[in-house]
Amino acid sequence: MPTIVFVQQDGTRHPVSAVAGLSLMEAAAINKVPGIEGDCGGFCACGTCHVYLDDESSTASLPAMHELERATLDFAYDVGPDSRLACQIPLTDAMDGMIIRLPARQY
Ligand code: FES
């Protein structure tokens, strides 16, 4: 069961252990991590599960961003080069210890 650390803009850390196969958004929602809304339930339609992948994390094993994710990110707030939608990233054991930064807000 991998542990992911969600980090808010003020530096508050939220370590979350969740079952591999859940999405990052589902892991955050189940563990009540503030700052991940997930309004569409993970259907890549709202952009409210926007996160930043930390530069120091190993991101090579993550699935590449697909066209729909790229389009939906247009609805997210303060998108940057490290932006992803948490609902499109399935948890794997290889992600244990990964740092995920949260945006200042989702809207
Ligand atoms: S939960 Fe809506 S785009 Fe991820």
What's the pLDDT at 57?
A: 54
For residue 37, the ligand 1 atom closest to its alpha carbon is 1
Question: What residue ranges define each of the domains in the chain, with the CATH number in brackets?
Answer: 3-101 (3.10.20.30)
* Pocket mutation for ligand 1, best pick of 79, 84, 85, 107 (most atoms within 8 Å of C-beta): 85
What's the pLDDT at 56?
A: 59
Q: What secondary structure letter does DSSP report for 58?
A: -
Q: What pLDDT tens digit does each residue of the chain (107 aa) get?
A: 999 999 999 999 999 999 999 999 999 999 999 999 999 999 999 999 999 997 655 677 789 999 999 999 999 999 999 999 999 999 999 999 999 999 999 98
Q: Which residues pair with 63 in a beta bridge?
A: none
Cα–Cα distance measured from residue 99 to residue 75, given in angstroms and rounded to the nearest whole number:
23
* Pocket mutation for ligand 1, best pick of 23, 30, 33, 46 (most atoms within 8 Å of C-beta): 46
Pairing of strands 50-53, 83-85: antiparallel
Q: Could you tell me the pTM of the whole model?
A: 0.94
Distance, CA 88 to ligand 1 centroid (Å)? 8
Nearest to 83 by CA among 94, 69, 93, 97: 69
For residue 86, the ligand 1 atom closest to its alpha carbon is 4
